[in-house]
Structure 1
Amino acid sequence: MYARSTEPSEVRVHTAEFRIYGTMHLPKGGGTATFLNKDKRPLVPMTGVLVYAPGYDHPPRAEEMRATADFLAVQKREILWVVGGRPDRMELPGVPVKKQRMALLFGCCVLVGVLVTPGGVRLSDFLASAKPFQTLFDVKLYALAGDTPARELEVRQAFEFVTVNVQRILGIMEAPRLDDEDTRLTLFG
C-alpha cells in the first residue's frame, strides 16, 4: 500500500560526508521539502543508491564512488541539501509572500537562490520558527576555493530548485542581484 501512495523521484542528497545518488519515494503531489518536514521518522529511505565522496561536481568521477546499495536509510539531520525530487510551491495559499534572494553558506560552497518567506516576517524570525527543509528556487552553486574572494567565484552548477536544510547552513545573507552578463558571486564588491 505504501508503494501505491508514492512516486519515485531521482535525487542527489548532499551530506558533509557523502553525495548520495538514488531514488526517494515522495508522496504523490507533494514536494521534497514537505515530505522531509512531515515525515517524523529520523531516517529517509532511498533505493538504487550510489554513494560518492563529498563534493558538488556532477557527474561524479568513477574513482569517487564509495559504495552501492539497493536500499539506504539516510539520517535526515545529516542532509545539507537535496537536488531533484519535486519543488514545493512558491506561493502559499492565502498568505502574502516575500521572495528574497539569499546566499546560504555551507562548508564547501555557497548556494544562492530565491527563498520564499511569509510577507511581513523578518528573515531571522522565519528561520527561528521555520521547518528545517525549505525550497530554494533559481539556485546557483559557487564552490569555495581557498583564498579566492567571494566576488571572483564562478558558478559551478545551476538548478531550478534545491531543497535545503536550514538547520545545517553555516550562515545566510541577502545576496545582491547579478546582471545577466556577470555570473560571479558579488557579495562584497
Structure 2
Amino acid sequence: MTAEQTGLVLGEDGLSRPQWASVHEDLREYYDTEWGMPVRTERGVFERLSLEGFQSGLSWATILRRRDGFRRAFAGFDPDEVAGFGAAKVERLLGDASIIRHRGKIEATISNARATIALRSMDGLGRVGELGAGSTLADLVWSYRPAETPRPACAADVPTTSPESVALAKELRRHGFRFVGPTTMFALMEAIGIVDTHLLGSHRRGSSGLWPA
C-alpha cells in the first residue's frame, strides 16, 4: 500500500505515524510517548476514562491541550477527592475556562468518581464479584482485554467498537458510570494499551510490549 492508502505519514525524523498524530507537535509527542502504553492504576484509568468522556463530540487535540487544566480542576483525578465535589464546586467548574465547561460531563465525572470508589467494596456482583472484593476500576477495565488485538493495515481498518468494549460499557453502566458508551470505551482501551490499534508500519506498533508487532 502507498502512504495515501495506509494513512501513515513519514515524519522528518524518518518515523511513520498516522495522520492524526502528524499534524501538531503535541499530538506527535502524545502518540510517541503515551498513547497505547499500559495504564493500570485506578487513578490513571479514572483520568483516562474521564477525559474520554469529555472528548465525546470533540477532537482529542481539544482535550489534550486542556489536560493540565483538567488535572488542576479535578484534583489530579483522585477519585476520593472528586467524589466529594458538591453543587458549589460544579458551578465553579462551569466557570473554569481551562476545561470543557459542560455540565453533564462535569457531573458525570463526579458521579463516576463515586462509582469508582463503590467498586472497591463490591463482591458477588457480576464481573466485579468474579474479580473479588477490593477490585478497582483498573481491574475491571483490564478484565475485558481480548484474546487478540486488531492488526489494521490502514486507517479504515481501525474498528471503533468491539464485543469487549460493548460488554465493558454495559458493565460500567450497571455500576452507575456515565458517558461510557461502547465507542468511548474502545477509545479508552486503545489509549491504555488493552488493544493495539497502531497501524502496521507505524513505528509504535507493538510498543506496549503486550502485543506482537
What is the TM-score when the length of structure 1 is the normalising length?
0.28
Rg (Cα) greater in structure: 2
What is the TM-score when the length of structure 2 is the normalising length?
0.25
Structure 1 or 2: more helix by fraction: 2
The one of the two structures with greater contact order (alpha-carbon pairs below 8 A, sep at least 6) is 2
Structure 1 or 2: more strand by fraction: 1
